[in-house]
Structures are given as C-alpha cells and as structure tokens.
Amino acid sequence: MALGSHKVVARFAAERAGVEGEKAHVTRSAFYASHPWLAQLISHDGGSDRINQLFEGTRIDGIPVRVVELTGEPGDVVITHPLIAHSIAPNCASRPRFMRIARPRVRASDLS
C-alpha cells in the first residue's frame, strides 16, 4: 500500500470536477496518470529500479508517499483509511475472505 496516498487521493478527488458521477475506472485511471510516481505504481516496467523508487517514495504536492508491504498471519485484519492506494493480493487461504469496499466521499477534513 502507498503510505500518505489517502491525502493525495482526497486532494485529487476534491479538485476533479464531476468526480461524483464518474465511472470508477475513469477516476482511477486519471488518478494514476496525474503524477509520474503514481503511474509507476501500476506499471510493469522498470524492474528493481522501479521497486526501489516506490519504496524510497517521493512527495506529491508536498505530501510524502511511499510504498510499504503489509505482512501478517492467517486471520489478521488490516483496517486502512478508505482512500489509501493499495493493490489487491491473491487470497491464498483455504476459506473465502470478505472485504468491505465503499466508494469514498471526500470531505474538506480529508485534505489536511
């Protein structure tokens, strides 16, 4: 997941006209295209240099962001801010998992 990305997502959504009525994939594509570091998150090019740059992080509009890898044990639960940028991990468990996902609503307090 990308630490600090919830603030970048909130700012992006607050500044994007018509985001409420937009299809999620359109918003998502525009978000990742809005900064070169974000574009690297979904790119498959660059090898170890790309991975090192993502883990080292950067600043986007003054907001520090970097990739961290979450690890845990079976049964662990991770609760994050709903606007955090993250990737989907395969379910390697023998039982289905439940994930609660909701389209986020941006408030002015999310920007600070």
Give the residue extent of every domain in the chain: 2-111
- pLDDT at position 19 is 87
Confidence of residue 24 (pLDDT cuts 50, 70, 90): confident
- What is the sign of the dihedral through the CA atoms of 81, 37, 68 and 99? positive
Q: CA-CA-CA-CA torsion for 70, 19, 103, 76, nearest 10 degrees? A: 0
pLDDT digits 0-9 by tens, 36-49:
999 998 888 877 78
Phi, psi of 63 (to 5 degrees): -95, 120
pLDDT tens digits, residue range 56-111?
999 999 999 999 988 777 777 788 887 888 876 677 777 766 665 555 566 656 66
Q: In the block, which residue shows the tokens 């993250």?
A: 86
Residue 104 has what pLDDT?
Answer: 55
